[in-house]
Structure 1
Amino acid sequence: MAKSTSQFVKLGLFVIFGSLLILVTAYMIGNEQNVFRPTFQISAVFNNVNGLQKGNNVRYSGIQVGTVRDIVMEQDTSIRVYMQIQEGMMTHIKDNAVAVIGSDGLVGSMLVNILPGPGIGAPVRDGGEIASYSSISTQDMLSTLNVTNKNVSLLSADLLEVTHALRSGSGVLAQLLYDSTMAKDLRQGFHNLNVSTARTEEAISRLNKMIGEWRLEQSTLRLLTDDPEFTGQIQRVAANLDSSGQEIRELTGRINDLIGGVQQGEGTLGMLMTDSSMAAEIRHGLRHLDSGLVKFDENMEALKHNWLTRGYFKKMEKQQEKENKKH
């Protein structure tokens, strides 16, 4: 009977100790998952969470500050991640912080890293949203690496082909490498180019020296500054040009005055141009003059045929013919 009671006591103590151990372990795990600590919630929207799950860690500048509470698919290209953060970090995390999804080591579980943003920002609020940055996933990196490998393979094949062509002596580059005649011609060409450059530099130097040795005494500037006779001629030409310009201006003024007077009807020419009655009288007089000339021609023709004056006109015609023959 005593033995059974001792066993029961030991069993009870073991159960109590085990229960306390389980409670302490649960408390520690819950404390690690922010179950028994005051927290606040923030969120961020990602295009790809790269395998992130609920309960994964959230770090701020590498420090464990919370866990992922929930992951909600909002649209086909946007996923909202809710994070449970320790309340003490509210004053440290600013609203311009950036959330990035990464991994804990090379093969570790996924986590959310919160990085401080540029500049000075206000403390984040409970339920607020911070910016996000979707890092390149491992699949994308492997895909890019695969494309790079293909390009490297193609480049290696082209390089092998070029090397084979060089070794076989085909192509201009191979001829430059193996053809001694072409190499000699190329060296001779470079030598001629150097000689031409040296001669050009020498010619330019001589030209500069010749320009520098030009004498001012033999130039036109010397005549303008030191020859009084040449200077006097220049001054007389300038004076003549000035007087001619003055006369031209006076003549132009007179012509303008004359034209203005004609336009205003002054003088005979102005009356002829502006007085319509005088113009009509002149036209009437010209008509009478024209008719008078016609009658005068008729009278002269009649005199030629008159027996009294016919001999005179015949004599005049013969004299005109003689003069024409002499000429």
Structure 2
Amino acid sequence: METKTEGFKIRLGIFIIAGFALFLLAIFIIGKQKNLFNPVFKLSTKFQNVSGLQVGSPIRFSGINVGTVDNVEIINDSMVKVDLVIKKEVQKFLHTDTKAGIGSEGIIGDKLIVLSQGNPKSKLVKDGQNIASVEPIETDVIMRSLETTAGNAALATGEINEILVKINNGEGTLGRLIQDKSMANNLDKTLINLKNSSKGLDENMEAAKHNFLLKGYFNKKKRAEEKKKKAAEKAKQNK
């Protein structure tokens, strides 16, 4: 009987010690999250929409967790006040023009507060000061925009595919030009004729320049061009 009692006492003692250890661990974790073991100071900011931000959400500065959200309070129908608890050692890096924005862990992760650095020439923030905020962009708005863009891209792709099918089937002018060899040959002949006609025109113009009946006209035109060129050079020299 005494053996059973001693065994029960041992198990009870182990249970009490384990429970007390878990209690201390919980206090340590909560205290670390709430910065109970570090000197802190408080700031506050206001948003029209906190986008799911909650008490206990982390606060980041330069990518480092520096505090937690202490309180989220609705002031009126268009304004929400957010109280921030930040490590005292960070205060020397935050200035009066520092702004608070709402970010997230990844695209759809938990919400958090992100503090900007501000102008180093500005004064440092004071304990209890209210800082400006930047309204967050709603994730659902971004998703709707992406859906619209994807829909437009799919529509454009479908229309391009239809055009390519018609071209491959020889429909339309471009399709007939690609598929119909005789039409392509006719186009090649037309281009060759245009080239020959241009060459013949150049030869006719050259012959006309040497014709005594038209030689005076071309000489007169040449002298006018030379006179115009000399006048332009003289005007350039006077400048």
When the two chains are superposed, the root-mean-square deviation of aligned CA atoms in Å is 3.8
Structure 1: stretches of 5+ with no match in the other structure? 215-327
Provide closer, same or farther for how the CA distance between residues 146 and 9 of structure 1 changes in structure 2, counting only shifts above 3 A: closer
How far apart are the structure 2 equivalents of 1:109 and 1:164? 48
1:182 aligns with 2:187: yes
Please state how far the C-alpha of 1:78 moved relative to its aligned partner.
3.8
Please state how far the C-alpha of 1:91 moved relative to its aligned partner.
1.1
The letter of the residue matching 1:211 is E
Please state how far the C-alpha of 1:163 moved relative to its aligned partner.
1.7
Q: Which residue of 2 aligns with 1:69?
A: 70
> Matched residue of 1:91: which SS?
helix
Q: Is the 8 A contact 1:98 1:130 kept in 2?
A: yes
> Matched residue of 1:148: which SS?
helix
Please show how residues 109-258 of structure 1 align to structure 2 within 5 Å.
109-118=110-119, 120-177=121-178, 178=180, 179-180=183-184, 181-186=186-191, 188-189=193-194, 207=222, 211=226
How far apart are the structure 2 equivalents of 1:187 and 1:33? 85
The structure that is helix-richer by fraction is: 1
Provide closer, same or farther for how the CA distance between residues 165 and 61 of structure 1 changes in structure 2, counting only shifts above 3 A: same
Provide closer, same or farther for how the CA distance between residues 5 and 157 of structure 1 changes in structure 2, counting only shifts above 3 A: closer
How far apart are the structure 1 equivalents of 2:136 and 2:200? 61
Q: Is the 8 A contact 1:175 1:182 kept in 2?
A: no
How far apart are the structure 2 equivalents of 1:80 and 1:186? 76
Please state how far the C-alpha of 1:192 moved relative to its aligned partner.
6.1
Please state how far the C-alpha of 1:7 moved relative to its aligned partner.
5.6
Structure 2: stretches of 5+ with no match in the other structure? 206-217, 230-239
Please state how far the C-alpha of 1:209 moved relative to its aligned partner.
10
Please state how far the C-alpha of 1:2 moved relative to its aligned partner.
6.7
Provide closer, same or farther for how the CA distance between residues 186 and 114 of structure 1 changes in structure 2, counting only shifts above 3 A: farther
Provide closer, same or farther for how the CA distance between residues 9 and 182 of structure 1 changes in structure 2, counting only shifts above 3 A: closer
Q: TM-score, normalised by structure 2?
A: 0.67
> Matched residue of 2:92: which SS?
coil
Provide closer, same or farther for how the CA distance between residues 210 and 7 of structure 1 changes in structure 2, counting only shifts above 3 A: closer
Deviations 1:6-26 (A, max 9, x none): 864774575356425523531
The letter of the residue matching 2:129 is G
How many residue pairs get aligned? The number is 208
Q: Which residue of 1 aligns with 2:210?
A: none
The sequence identity of aligned pairs, in percent, is 29
Please state how far the C-alpha of 1:191 moved relative to its aligned partner.
7.3
Q: Which residue of 2 aligns with 1:291?
A: none
Deviations 1:207-253 (A, max 9, x none): 489727x9xxxxxxxxxxxxxxxxxxxxxxxxxxxxxxxxxxxxxxx
Q: Which residue of 2 aligns with 1:90?
A: 91
Please state how far the C-alpha of 1:154 moved relative to its aligned partner.
1.7
Provide closer, same or farther for how the CA distance between residues 190 and 85 of structure 1 changes in structure 2, counting only shifts above 3 A: farther
The letter of the residue matching 1:185 is T
